[in-house]
């Protein structure tokens, strides 16, 4: 690890003012410190943001909920009122890593973590995501990689919270030197679909400060399958949210995780549920549409039946939550 300086910011303005491309914002540090130690990134300065007032709060407002960027994943999972409103989000938080990591890692850090692809993480490999011109996973070991990709790189998004928030129409608040802007969850990750070299839409000098979830009469659920029962990334995850009227679907949202560089959705599958009673048959039909464009490779084709089962489970679970 190369030397760097350290600064503790006490305001968002201080954190982003005068920052350069070689500055890194430091909160829980779970992902960043690993990348620094592995030589994947370098930093002239680490700017600690965990002492900025107000960024560790969860608040219910008239228009919806606001979750500060520095809220820990453990605090998110333990918030009883938020869990009643969004059980899928609470379930996703509980499935993140281990209790020790959840106590330290932040919501913003979970959303903005970088690729876990072992070729990207290998300090001696220069893959497409690190400025090279080869996706070694396509012809190599791709057991954990994407079923859907906008380009040749098949590194998937691994954030469980991103998948749960995507079906809640959540947005993120981003601060930079030029002011504040808001992005939908789809907008936060859209560049990763189009450009294999990026992970999300944030630019150097920008800081994600909050997540906003609108109030809605939605039922939600989140399920995932991992190789280990705990302390493991999902092989496949799925979140679903529903608006029901006397058992009839009025609106549906379905997102898959760990199968694409973005929380993967398909409006055809969601619209196919509208106007119908949700049961295993309609859930299976939605799953078939959602997975229709999947392009499995030899080592990750097992994800397709897992995803199909999780879509069914998430939809049926969302339909039965109160």
User: What phi and psi, each to the nearest 5 degrees, are found at residue 321?
Assistant: -75, 155
Q: Fold for domain 58-112+159-214?
A: 3.30.465
Question: How does 100-120 read in b/e, with b if 16+ C-beta sit within 10 Å?
Answer: ebbebbbbbbbbbbbbbbbbb
pLDDT digits (tens, 9 = 90+) for 150-202: 999 999 999 999 999 999 999 999 999 889 999 999 999 999 999 999 999 99
Question: In this predicted model, what pLDDT tens digit does every residue of 15-69 receive, in sequence order?
Answer: 998 677 789 999 999 999 989 988 888 899 999 999 999 999 999 999 999 999 9
Average of pLDDT values for 92-101? Answer: 95
pLDDT for 253-262, tens place per residue?
A: 999 999 999 9
With a pLDDT cut of 90, the percent of the chain lying above it is 89
Among positive and negative, which fits the CA dihedral 314, 316, 317, 318? Answer: positive
* Domain boundaries of the chain, sorted by first residue: 58-112+159-214, 219-320
Confidence grade of residue 101 (pLDDT, cut at 50, 70, 90)? very high
Q: What is the Cα–Cα distance from 150 to 186, expressed in whole angstroms?
A: 14
How does residue 236 score in pLDDT terms, banded at 50, 70 and 90? very high
28 CB-near residues (< 8 Å, 6+ apart): 50, 72, 104, 105, 106, 109
Question: Which tokens belong to 136?
Answer: 């070694």
Would you say residue 283 has pLDDT above 90? yes
Q: What are phi and psi of 303, to 5 degrees?
A: -70, -25
| Mean of pLDDT values over 75-86 | 97
Band (pLDDT 50/70/90 cuts) for residue 9 is: very high
Query: 83 pLDDT exceeds 90?
Result: yes
Residues 6+ apart with CB under 8 A from 16: 175, 176, 177, 205, 206, 207
Q: Which fold has domain 219-320?
A: Enolase-like; domain 1 (3.30.390)
- 247 has a pLDDT exceeding 70: yes
Q: How far apart are CA 263 and CA 320, in angstroms?
A: 23
- Going by their DSSP bridges, the two strands 5-8 and 45-48 should be labelled as parallel
Given a contact cutoff of 8 angstroms between Cβ atoms, the answer to whether 78 and 96 are in contact is no
Can you give the pLDDT at residue 18?
Answer: 66
User: At a CB cut-off of 8 Å and minimum separation 6, what does 94 contact?
Assistant: 77
């Amino acid at each position: 690890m190369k030397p760097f300086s350290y600064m503790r910011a006490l305001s968002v303005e201080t954190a982003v003012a005068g920052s350069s491309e070689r500055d890194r914002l430091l909160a829980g540090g779970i992902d960043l410190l690993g990348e620094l130690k592995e030589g994947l990134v370098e930093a002239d300065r680490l700017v600690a943001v965990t002492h900025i007032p107000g960024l560790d709060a969860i608040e219910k407002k008239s228009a919806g909920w606001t979750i500060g960027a520095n809220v820990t994943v453990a605090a998110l999972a333990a918030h009883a009122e938020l869990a009643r409103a969004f059980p899928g989000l609470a379930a996703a938080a509980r499935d993140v890593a281990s209790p020790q990591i959840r106590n330290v890692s932040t919501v913003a850090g979970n959303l903005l973590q970088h690729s876990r692809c072992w070729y990207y993480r290998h300090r001696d490999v220069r893959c497409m995501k690190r400025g090279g011109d080869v996706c070694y996973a396509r012809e190599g070991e791709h057991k954990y990689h994407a079923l859907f990709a906008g380009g040749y790189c098949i590194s998937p998004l691994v954030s469980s919270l991103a998948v749960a928030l995507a079906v809640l129409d959540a947005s993120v608040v981003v601060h930079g030197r030029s002011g504040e802007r808001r992005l939908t969850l789809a907008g936060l990750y859209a560049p990763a679909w189009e450009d294999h070299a990026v992970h999300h839409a944030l630019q150097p000098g920008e800081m994600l400060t909050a997540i906003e979830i609108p109030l809605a009469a939605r039922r939600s659920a989140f399920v995932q399958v991992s190789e280990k029962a705990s302390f493991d990334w999902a092989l496949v995850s799925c979140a679903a949210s529903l608006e029901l009227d006397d058992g009839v679907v009025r609106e549906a949202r379905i997102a898959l995780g760990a199968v694409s560089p973005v929380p993967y959705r398909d409006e055809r599958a969601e619209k196919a549920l509208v106007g119908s009673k949700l049961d295993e048959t309609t859930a299976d039909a939605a799953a078939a549409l959602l997975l229709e464009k999947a392009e499995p490779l030899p080592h990750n084709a097992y994800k397709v039946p897992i995803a199909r089962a999780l879509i069914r489970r998430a939809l049926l679970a969302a339909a039965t939550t109160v």
